[in-house]
Amino acid sequence: MNHHPPSHLGRALTVVLGALPFAVITILVFEDWPPLRRWDLSVAARAAEYGATRPDWVDLWQVLGAVILPWVSRAVILGVAIYLWHRRARLLTVWLVVTAASELILVFVVKNIFERPRPADFLVETDSWSYVSGHATAAFVMAGALGVVLPSVRGWRRRFRLLVTLPTIAIVLLVSVDRIALNVHYVSDVLGGWALGLAILTTTSICFGLRPGLRRRRRSTPSGDDDGTTPPRAAVIVNPIKVGDGVAFRRKVTRALAVRGFEEPLWLETREDDAGNAMAKRAIEYESDLVLVAGGDGTVRVVTAALASTGIPVGVIPAGTGNLLARNLHVPLDLDDALERILDGRDRRIDLVKVHGDGLDTDRFAVMAGLGLDAAIISDAPPHLKAQIGWTAYLVSAAKNINHPSVKVRITLDDQEPVERRVRTVVVGNVGMLQANIPLLPDARPDDGLIDVVVIAPRRVTQWPLVFWRVMTRTTRTELYLERFTGRKVEITASVDVQRQLDGDGIGPGRSLTAEVEPGTLIVRVPRQR
């Protein structure tokens, strides 16, 4: 299944293609295209001749026509709509009702616009105009509507769908032959009815976000209501080192998903040699409707980078040391609360930032990248201490690196002239909050299409308290030891090799780091505002 949402142009093109057959047939009919005109008159003459000598057959076709009136087809659609309403498939219900109403109205409108007389020797009395066949249009719409609904109804096995679909197709053909055999419609009237039905189905399906003839997989809805479609799929990517009690975690997540109508989730564990890239690709192949990721900021970064531009929502379950993306998306740190708020939440598009540098492959991050002191702090934080005391282990590392040397850097934002600074650290952020709600980049927003840059450059150790005070009070004043910039692309070049980091993972020393925003490339599941 393709998870990329269709563009406005793609939807419009689909509607145009769906309406094109009706437009073509209508033009050919009323321009009296000779081949079609000869075909119509030839078939009508044969039907009249055949019926004149076989009154019993005329009676049979007339009874059949009375049984399968357009209102019978509409009644079938209404019955299916009532069934789906009871199954809480509200979207499909409304779509069916709108489709049936559109067919009724448009058949009446088309007949009265074109006012085409019926064949001269029709075998039964009937009112209204000939073009288009209301019987054929209604039957075609009924068959097409069921073709969309049945593959989507949860619990309907394929053989049951065939037991309904095949007779429905037979009814369309039978109704059409009946209209021609009674000589109340030309062949082109029936073809026009089919084409009008196709145009109606295509237009309403696109407007309601459905795909005629294809199995439609439901996105998990914030309310958790079962809308009658096939159950959504979820993949859960877990860093087993970060999740303490793996058995209890799995039980809680599985239960929370099951309550909301999901299938048994696909479980994928990261490995020491793969923080989540292969697992994310497996989740895409699985055609997941939601991917939950539980791990540290590094695991979250790798998974979100792999899911960029797929249209698959990502729910971040806090399980690591920093949990910076979860914090900035206002996801609670408690597992039970986080699960409830994510699964009952809403989808939100956020930016990712593409990054590269010397000795680095092109990568993406969702939170922050840094060069200098912050990267040194992250790289020097003892893993065993992070496991024991969490993010406060970074304070121990910060104390060790308090005298981290400054370095000369050149910073280029977008197409502006580069600036040179001697700094302790440069941080590039897609979001602004650190642990303990420290607003390092107070104006940063994950969906503003911009990246924020902070340059921290105290010259002496005694200036660090003032830097911290400026950060905590969200000062907007530019000072030599605390500057902020905003742009879509930033290039940072250091005069010597310095430590670098992406979303809390050290990526080794180097001299350059280039970051460029990719607006709205990731969908994340976030809590609803209360």
In the listed set 351, 381, 402, which residue is the last one of a domain according to the structure?
A: 351
23 CB-near residues (< 8 Å, 6+ apart):
none
Residue 213 lies in a domain: no
Q: What is the DSSP string of 186-247?
A: -HHHHHHHHHHHHHHHHHHHHHTT--TTSPPBPPPPTT----SSBPP-EEEEE-TTT-SSHH
Tokens of 120: 């001269």
Residue 222 lies in a domain: no
Cα–Cα distances in angstroms (integers) from residue 246 to residues 157, 262, 298, 319, 333, in the given order:
35, 20, 19, 11, 17
pLDDT score of 12: 82
Dist. CA 260–CA 231, nearest whole Å: 9
Same domain, 89 and 178: yes
In 3D space, the residue among 423, 410, 492 whose CA is nearest the CA of residue 463 turns out to be: 423
pLDDT score of 369: 92
Strand pairing report for 290-295 and 234-238: parallel
Same domain, 431 and 294: no
pLDDT score of 521: 93
Same domain, 143 and 289: no
Burial 461-477 (b: 16+ CB within 10 A, else e): eebeeebeebbeeeeee
pLDDT score of 217: 38
Is the Cα torsion angle 378, 380, 384, 386 positive or negative in sign?
A: negative
Residue 214 lies in a domain: no
Cα–Cα distances in angstroms (integers) from residue 284 to residues 257, 279, 290, 362, 525, in the given order:
18, 9, 10, 21, 17
User: Which amino acid is located at 349 in the chain?
Assistant: R
Dist. CA 259–CA 129, nearest whole Å: 54
In 3D space, the residue among 94, 100, 52 whose CA is nearest the CA of residue 74 turns out to be: 100
In 3D space, the residue among 303, 415, 448, 417 whose CA is nearest the CA of residue 363 turns out to be: 303
In the listed set 351, 369, 391, which residue is the last one of a domain according to the structure?
A: 351
The DSSP bridge partners found for residue 69 are none
Dist. CA 310–CA 446, nearest whole Å: 18
Tokens of 326: 């979860």
Same domain, 320 and 364: no
Residue 524 lies in a domain: no
Same domain, 70 and 168: yes
CB count in 10 Å sphere of residue 15: 17
pLDDT score of 323: 84
Same domain, 309 and 164: no
Domain containing residue 370: 360-519
| Assessment of whether the complete model's pTM goes beyond 0.85 | no
Same domain, 270 and 200: no
pLDDT score of 8: 61
Same domain, 323 and 297: yes
Residue 221 lies in a domain: no
In 3D space, the residue among 424, 434, 419 whose CA is nearest the CA of residue 482 turns out to be: 424
Same domain, 347 and 378: no
Residue 184 has, within 13 A of its CA and on its CB side, a CA count of: 22
* pLDDT tens for the 530 residues of the chain, in order: 334 444 567 778 888 888 999 999 999 999 989 999 999 899 888 887 877 677 776 677 677 766 777 888 888 888 888 877 776 567 778 888 999 999 999 999 999 999 898 887 766 677 788 899 998 999 999 888 887 776 655 445 555 566 777 888 888 888 888 888 888 889 999 999 999 999 999 998 888 766 443 333 333 344 444 444 578 999 999 998 888 667 888 888 999 999 888 999 999 999 988 988 999 999 999 989 999 999 888 899 999 999 998 999 999 998 877 788 999 999 988 888 889 999 999 999 999 999 999 988 899 999 999 998 888 887 776 666 555 555 566 666 676 777 778 899 999 999 899 999 999 999 999 998 887 778 888 889 999 999 999 998 888 877 878 888 888 877 766 677 889 999 999 999 999 999 998 987 888 899 999 999 999 999 999 998 76
Tokens of 281: 């690709």
Residue tagged 């039978």 (tokens): 174
Residue 448 lies in a domain: yes
* CATH number of the structural domain spanning residue 502: 2.60.200.40
Dist. CA 517–CA 336, nearest whole Å: 33
Same domain, 112 and 57: yes
Same domain, 105 and 75: yes
Residue 1 lies in a domain: no
In 3D space, the residue among 108, 428, 387, 136 whose CA is nearest the CA of residue 242 turns out to be: 387
Whether residue 132 is preceded by a cis peptide bond, meaning omega within 30 degrees of 0, is yes
How many folded domains does the chain comprise? 3
Dist. CA 283–CA 290, nearest whole Å: 9
In the listed set 330, 351, 372, which residue is the last one of a domain according to the structure?
A: 351
Same domain, 366 and 502: yes
Q: What is the DSSP string of 417-477?
A: PPEEEEESEEEEESS-B-GGG-BSSTT--TTSS-EEEEEE--SSGGGHHHHHHHHHTT---
CB count in 10 Å sphere of residue 352: 23
Element (H, E) at 337: helix 335-343
